[in-house]
Amino acid sequence: MSLQYSSLNDLADSLIQKIDRSLIFPPHLSKPEEFLNIPTRLNSRPPRPPNGFLICRKNVHNQAKRRGICNMRVISKVTGMLWRGASPDEKEEYEKLAARVVSLHTRRYPEFKYRSSSRGSSKTELYRPYVFSVSEEITEDSQPERPETEPSIHETNISVFELSPADLNTHYYYSLCSTYNYI
C-alpha cells in the first residue's frame, strides 16, 4: 500500500506503532529553552508560549521525523491520540514544563501580553437588520422603515467587488424579490 493512498487513520496507526512511547512520556525534550520561539520577522511581537499539549506535539514531531514521517496532519492526529490516552500524571509533567516555559518567556519578554490576532476583518459579519436592546419593547413603531425598493448596483455606481458579502447577499435578495414581484 503506498503512502499516497493511505487514509489518515492508517498512517496514524502506523506512526503510533513506530514511536517509542517512553520517549514521549516523560518528555524527551525537556529544556524550556527548546520551546521558546523567536520572532520570525523584524519588529514583530514574540510568539505565544506553548501549552502542555503543544510541547507534547513537539516531542511527537521530533520522534516522527526520526522515523521519516513529516506529514503534519498525521503527527497532529497521533499527538491527539497519545494525549487522550495519557494519564493525568503524564499530562502534569507536560503542564509543569509549560509553566517553566512561560516563566522563561516572561523573563525574556517582560512587556508581552497575549492579544488575539486581528482575524475579525476576514470573517464576515452577521447580518442583523434590526437590533433592539433587551429592555426595549418591539412594536410597529420601533422597527426602522424599509425602503420601497433597494437600488440596484448599476444605479449606485458601486462595483460588485466593493460590496461586503452581507451587502452582496442583500442586493441579490432584493433583485430576486423585485424580479418575482415580492416587493
Q: What pLDDT is attached to residue 145?
A: 59
φ, ψ of residue 179 in degrees (nearest 5): -65, -40
pLDDT at site 72: 93
Is residue 86 classed as helix, strand or coil in its secondary structure? Answer: coil
Tell me the mean pLDDT in the region 119-135.
53
Best CA proximity match to 51, nearest among 95, 107, 117, 115: 95
Average pLDDT across the chain, whole number: 75
Residue 112 φ then ψ, to 5°: -65, 130
Assign 142 a pLDDT band (cuts: 50, 70, 90). Answer: low
According to the model, what pLDDT value does residue 178 have? 59
Secondary structure class of 67 (helix, strand, coil) = coil
pLDDT tens-digit map of 56-81:
999 999 999 998 888 999 999 999 99
> If you average pLDDT over residues 128-153, what whole number do you get?
54
The mean pLDDT value for 163-169 works out to 61
CA 99 and chain centroid, separation: 23
The dihedral formed by the CA atoms of 133, 136, 141 and 147, expressed in degrees to the nearest 10: 10
Q: How confident is the model at residue 1 (pLDDT cuts 50, 70, 90)?
A: very low
Choose among 22, 32, 33: nearest CA to 97: 32
| Higher-confidence position of 127 and 57 | 57
Is pLDDT above 80 for 106?
A: yes
Predicted pLDDT of residue 100: 93
C-alpha closest to that of 71 among 24, 6, 26, 22: 6
